[in-house]
């Protein structure tokens, strides 16, 4: 019978378990909140040990830090100890790395800093962790790390250098602890270094066939990176110092470790390097922004998307995979592409990022992704209302530029959108990262009656325009977009002579029009619009009637966008101005109404009551059966819509693979195609970590071989392998597979025409037994496979 209560806490479901512990999601009826409860069961009950652990839990419960999961209380029931923690929705770092693989050095260091700050807080209180590892580090829904499980931590002043049994996880023990049971601050530093290794490489640092082999390697071998991993020597030096076998060669304190990471992010300029001028000021401001926990993550995401935008090969697959890593981002993007505005592009409901790119175009999806990313990083600030105002203005400017570009036959309206949106990036960034300086700029403008650029130059040492351009360059935006961020001189604007000039003029026009919408009252609008028409009369030829119609259309699009990203227009000054411009009366919101409740209602109406399945899928989690079926069904319809259009075979196959990947929570899905010349099956592309590299190595002959792959291909049967190490199965797993992958469970869907194999879909997960496919989902997966087969037949 399943456990139903522990103390007063009502058990809801199991979250995870270890050798001596089980973690449950539970409900506290007294305080009416969800909590996490961890039970500890020891093979030999020991009242003295339990008393000591309870005393330690009381000590740990005093720790207060944003990156530490607090202990609410502790107790004992039926001889077993239990600890009650704050429930943190999300996943642990081990699960995250299992899905994401190696992180970029900047992202790894940013995460590591937050982890170390939590450990430093504990050390200051005289507590060490003693079991620091990725599975004891939770990532909340915003990706912020929180360290938990100080349950075996030891008071530093009470340390006994000759403790008896080992306590902790062998793969993260320090050499001195294994050899002499010495416990100290440097042991936590060693474990933190191993966590950093895992962040940088995507794999565990110390591996072995059993705990004793692992501990032997820790004490006898220096940690070194694999030859195929190439990293900056500066971060490698930090890693090796943290994981030195001799504790005296490690950092003395977590503070030193943190300082080394900060030096990596912000290296000191070499002697003789230029230290003056605008570049020095920009570098100084960038360093300040990098110390904000979210700026490196935002920079990395935008830079990654921009890097893909400049690639001439596999851009659709790479953009899709980049977006799919973030399920919250995927969800919002799919809702946006199914909104009324984007549905004008045709194609019916869109259920995959791959099809969104096909229907809307690469640049449109890139712009949506960057817009959502930027908004997501404007939350939870004391000046959130002002930030949302700035963001809405930027978004409206982008939409106006796109719509006016369409009206004036501009060739690339998606470029116009991003140019106009980032026209005032410097002001937006200053409002977000330097709110005090932003207020000082406004104060100067009021007191001295000087312009915004002059005031920002005086306060920051550079103008908003220069700041925005500098950051845009570091994010990898192309010169075409960067140059459009430069303001136009006063007076009448001449007819642009190049496409680049046309985008710059259009971005400026849209932003000046947006300023009128934001600031002009009903009595001033006509006069201000005439001034704008006179200034841009030679360069942007739009009739007044068409302009007013375009403004109304663009405002409707902003309202729809705001509802999808759950932003209540009535709660922002600019939002209220938009409603007033449209002649709407202020909405009477119920007290306490939040953005999400309003947005949910509006969104439901817009999408006909349908919510896309991605809304309930968490990253790295296998969806529940109903959700999986919904995603598969939507994907099948998506593909049916595409098959009746002109299509490229690879596009259809990508949609099919992405649907399988999202619906079933596979770690990776890879398509293999028959190479007739060499009579082999060769991996082509897929979704999941390292699939590009793995697909190159995924190659096997079609001639007879007594293995699982040949059995599936030759007989045309779908095969699920639950455990590659099962004694009955192990001999039939080919050597080439074990060299390429470590997955313990996978499924094969062969594609055959008249008995001849033409392709195969491979999907896997890491752990034995992780793949379970109910009958309904299997039937839908086979339909997808048959659609792939139909597409291949039609292309032959």
Question: How far is residue 99 from each of residues 91, 671, 719, measured CA to CA in Å?
Answer: 11, 19, 23
- 516-554: pLDDT as tens digits: 988 888 888 889 999 999 999 889 988 888 998 989 988
Long-range contacts of 300-306 (CB under 8 A, 24+ apart): 300/104, 300/106, 300/107, 301/326, 301/373, 302/370, 302/373, 302/374, 302/475, 302/476, 303/474, 303/475, 303/476, 305/366, 305/369, 305/370, 305/373, 306/475, 306/476, 306/477, 306/478
- 620-629: pLDDT as tens digits: 456 788 888 9
For range 433-454, the mean pLDDT: 85
The Cα 144–Cα 379 span in angstroms is: 14
For range 560-588, the mean pLDDT: 77
Residue 234: burial class (beta carbons within 10 Å; 0-12, 13-18, 19+): middle
State residue 42's pLDDT score: 65
Task: Tell me: pLDDT of 158 over 50.
Answer: no
Long-range contacts of 690-695 (CB under 8 A, 24+ apart): 690/101, 691/321, 692/314, 694/668, 694/670, 694/740, 694/741, 695/670, 695/671
Tokens standing for 744? 């313990």
The candidate with the shortest Cα–Cα distance to 415, out of 430, 429, 398, is 398
Q: List beta partners, residue 86.
A: 35
Q: Which residue has the higher pLDDT, 216 or 603?
A: 216
- 251-309: pLDDT as tens digits: 999 999 998 988 887 655 443 343 445 677 787 787 777 776 566 667 776 776 776 66
Count helices and strands in the chain by DSSP H and E runs: 33, 17
- H or E element that contains 58: helix 47-60
Q: Give how far the C-alpha of residue 695 lies from the chain's centroid of Cα atoms, to the nearest Å.
A: 24
Model confidence band, residue 173 (pLDDT cutoffs 50, 70, 90): very high
Q: Which residue has the higher pLDDT, 288 or 384?
A: 288
DSSP classification of residue 661: H
- 503-512: pLDDT as tens digits: 899 999 999 9
Task: Tell me: pLDDT of 60 over 80.
Answer: no
Q: Give how far the C-alpha of residue 733 lies from the chain's centroid of Cα atoms, to the nearest Å.
A: 34
Task: Tell me: pLDDT of 205 over 60.
Answer: yes
* Token pair 């001799």 in the structure block, residue: 246
Asked if 375 contacts 369 with a C-beta cutoff of 8 angstroms, the reply is: no
Task: Tell me: pLDDT of 617 over 80.
Answer: no
The Cα 110–Cα 245 span in angstroms is: 25
Backbone angles phi, psi at 68, to 5 degrees: -125, 130
The Cα 764–Cα 743 span in angstroms is: 7
State residue 378's pLDDT score: 60
The Cα 619–Cα 261 span in angstroms is: 28
Task: Tell me: pLDDT of 718 over 90.
Answer: yes
- Give the whole-number percent of the chain exceeding pLDDT 70: 83
Least trusted range by pLDDT, from 405-419, 488-502, 588-602: 588-602
CB atoms within 10 A of CB 652: 24
The candidate with the shortest Cα–Cα distance to 366, out of 312, 314, 305, 415, is 305
State residue 265's pLDDT score: 75
The candidate with the shortest Cα–Cα distance to 97, out of 211, 197, 238, is 197
Domains belonging to the chain, first-starting first, are 5-86 (3.30.200.20), 91-265 (1.10.510.10), 387-422+477-586+595-619 (no CATH), 625-795 (3.30.450.40)
The candidate with the shortest Cα–Cα distance to 714, out of 675, 681, 669, is 681
């Amino acid at each position: 019978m399943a456990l139903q209560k522990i103390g007063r806490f009502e058990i809801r479901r199991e979250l995870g378990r270890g050798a001596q512990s089980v973690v449950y999601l539970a409900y506290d009826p007294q305080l009416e909140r969800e909590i996490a409860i961890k039970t500890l069961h020891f093979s030999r009950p020991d009242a003295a040990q339990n008393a000591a652990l309870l005393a330690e839990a009381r000590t740990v419960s005093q720790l207060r830090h944003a990156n530490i999961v607090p202990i609410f209380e502790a107790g004992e029931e039926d001889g077993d100890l239990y600890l009650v923690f704050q429930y943190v929705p999300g996943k642990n770092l081990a699960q995250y790395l299992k899905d994401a693989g190696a992180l970029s050095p900047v992202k790894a260091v940013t995460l590591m800093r937050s982890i170390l700050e939590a450990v430093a807080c504990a050390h200051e209180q005289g507590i060490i962790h003693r079991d620091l590892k990725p599975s004891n580090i939770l990532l909340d829904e915003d990706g912020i790390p929180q360290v938990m499980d100080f349950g075996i931590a030891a008071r530093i002043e009470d340390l006994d250098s000759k403790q008896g049994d080992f306590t902790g996880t062998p793969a993260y023990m320090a050499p001195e602890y294994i050899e002499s049971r010495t416990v100290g601050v440097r042991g936590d530093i060693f474990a933190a270094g191993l966590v950093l290794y895992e962040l940088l490489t995507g794999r565990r640092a110390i591996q072995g066939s059993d705990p004793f082999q692992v501990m032997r390697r820790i004490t006898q071998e220096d940690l070194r990176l694999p030859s195929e991993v190439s990293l900056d020597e500066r971060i490698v030096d930090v890693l090796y110092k943290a994981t030195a076998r001799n504790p005296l060669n490690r950092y003395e304190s977590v503070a030193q470790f943190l300082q080394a990471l900060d030096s990596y992010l912000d290296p000191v300029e070499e002697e003789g390097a230029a230290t003056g001028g605008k570049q020095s000021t920009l570098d100084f401001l960038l360093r300040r922004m990098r110390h904000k926990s979210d700026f490196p993550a935002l920079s990395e995401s935008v830079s990654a998307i921009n890097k893909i935008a400049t690639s001439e090969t596999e851009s659709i697959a790479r953009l899709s995979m980049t977006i799919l890593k973030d399920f919250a981002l995927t969800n919002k993007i799919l809702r946006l592409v199914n909104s009324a505005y984007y549905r004008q592009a045709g194609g019916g409901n869109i259920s995959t990022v791959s099809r969104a790119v096909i229907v809307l175009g690469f640049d449109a999806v890139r712009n949506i992704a960057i817009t959502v990313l930027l908004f997501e990083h404007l939350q939870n600030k004391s000046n959130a209302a002002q930030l949302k105002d700035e963001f809405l203005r930027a978004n409206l400017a982008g939409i106006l530029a796109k719509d006016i570009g369409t009206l004036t036959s501009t060739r690339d309206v998606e470029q116009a959108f991003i140019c106009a949106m980032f026209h005032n990036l410097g002001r937006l960034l200053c409002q977000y990262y330097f709110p005090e300086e932003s207020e000082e700029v406004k104060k100067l403008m009021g007191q001295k009656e000087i312009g915004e650029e002059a005031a920002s130059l005086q306060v920051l040492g550079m103008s908003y325009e220069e700041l925005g351009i500098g950051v845009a360059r570091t994010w990898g935006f192309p010169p075409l977009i960067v140059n459009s961020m430069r303001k136009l001189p006063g007076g009448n604007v001449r007819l642009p002579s190049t496409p680049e000039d046309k985008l710059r003029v259009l971005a400026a026009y849209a932003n000046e029009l947006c300023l009128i919408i934001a600031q002009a009252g009903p009595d001033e609008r006509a006069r201000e619009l005439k001034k704008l028409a006179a200034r841009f009369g030679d360069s942007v030829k739009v009739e007044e009637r068409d302009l007013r119609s375009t403004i109304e259309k663009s405002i409707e699009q902003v309202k729809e966008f705001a509802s999808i990203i759950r932003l209540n227009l009535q709660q922002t000054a600019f939002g209220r101005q938009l409603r007033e411009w449209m002649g709407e009366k202020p909405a009477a919101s119920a007290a306490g109404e939040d953005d999400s409740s309003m947005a949910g209602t509006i969104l439901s109406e817009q999408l006909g009551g349908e919510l896309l399945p991605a809304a309930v899928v968490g990253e790295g989690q296998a969806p529940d059966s109903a959700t999986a079926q919904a995603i598969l069904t939507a994907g099948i319809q998506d593909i049916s819509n595409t098959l009746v259009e002109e299509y490229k075979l690879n596009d259809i196959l990508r949609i099919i693979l992405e649907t399988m990947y999202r619906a079933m929570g596979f770690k990776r899905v890879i398509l293999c195609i028959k190479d007739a010349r060499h009579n082999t099956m060769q991996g082509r592309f897929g979704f999941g970590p390292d699939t590009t590299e793995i697909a190159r190595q995924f190659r096997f002959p079609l001639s007879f071989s007594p293995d699982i792959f040949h059995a599936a291909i030759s007989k045309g049967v779908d095969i699920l392998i639950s455990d590659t190490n099962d004694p009955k199965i192990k001999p039939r797993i080919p050597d080439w597979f074990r060299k390429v992958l470590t997955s313990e469970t996978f499924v094969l869907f062969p594609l055959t025409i008249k008995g001849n194999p033409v392709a195969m879909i491979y999907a896997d997960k890491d752990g034995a037994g992780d793949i379970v496919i109910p009958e309904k989902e299997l039937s839908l997966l086979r339909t997808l496979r048959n659609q792939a087969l139909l597409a291949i037949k039609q292309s032959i």
